[in-house]
Amino acid sequence: MKRVLFLAPIALFVVVLVVFFVGLRRDPSALPSALIDKPVPAFILPPLRPEDSRGFAATDLGGEPMLVNVYASWCGPCKLEHPMLMRLKREGVIIHGVDWKDTREAGYGFLAERGDPFVRVGSDQSGRTGIDLGVAGAPETFVIDKAGKVRYRHIGAISIEDWEQKIGPLLQRLRAES
C-alpha cells in the first residue's frame, strides 16, 4: 500500500507528461470540418474567368474524387501553395477553385499571372459560400468523394508532405471506392 502511494505521483507525472507531449504538438488551428461525411451545402457561384459562361456550383461535385481549393489574391500562403496546385493539375487531379472574399479582377489576375490549376472556378465576393463551407481562412482545401461528400478539410497551404502523406493517399483510396 505504501509503495502504491509512493509511486502514484510518479505515475501521475508520466501521464501528464504524455498528455502535454501529445497535446502541445497538436496544431490548435487544425479543426475538422463540420461537413465531414456530409454533402456540400448547395451553392452557385458566378464565373471568375471572363471566358466562362458559368462559374462553379455544388452540382459540379462528385462523380470522381476531387479537390476544392479556397484561395484569394490577397492571401500570401495561397501564392506559396500555387505551384503545388499546378503540379497536381499536371498529374491529372481534378481541382475546382473558389475565389473567396476577393474582387473578380484581382482573383482572375492571380490566375492569369501565375497559371490556372482549376477545372471550374467561382467568384465568392461576399464570402458567403466560404462560410457555408465552414472556411476560416485561405487557403483551405476540401477533398470531395465520388458521392460529392466532404471527406477531408486541409487548412493552410498544401505542402509536399501534406500531399504525399495525407491528401494523395486519401484520393487514391477514394478512387478505389465504388
Partner 1 sequence: MSRLLLIAASAAALAGAAHAVEPDEVMADPALEARAHALSREMRCVVCQNQSIDDSDAALAKDMRIILRERIAAGDTDEEAEGFLVARYGSFVQLKPPLRPDTLALWFGPLVVLVAGGIGAAIYMRGRAPGKAAPLSAGEEAELADLMETDRSSSDRAG
Q: Which residues bind partner 1 (CB under 8 A)?
A: 1-2, 5, 8, 28-29, 31-35, 41, 101, 127-128, 131-134, 136-137
- Whether the CA torsion 82, 72, 44, 42 is positive or negative: it is positive
Contact (CB, 8 A) for 73 and 150: no
Residue 33 or 69 having the CB closest to partner 1? 33
Provide, rounded to whole angstroms, the least separation between the CB of residue 90 and partner 1.
Answer: 33
Provide, rounded to whole angstroms, the least separation between the CB of residue 177 and partner 1.
Answer: 25
Query: At 33, is the secondary structure helix, strand, or coil?
Result: coil
CA 145 – CA 66 distance, rounded (Å): 7
Residue 38 or 173 having the CB closest to partner 1? 38
Provide, rounded to whole angstroms, the least separation between the CB of residue 35 and partner 1.
Answer: 8
Residue 14 or 160 having the CB closest to partner 1? 14
CA 130 – CA 28 distance, rounded (Å): 21
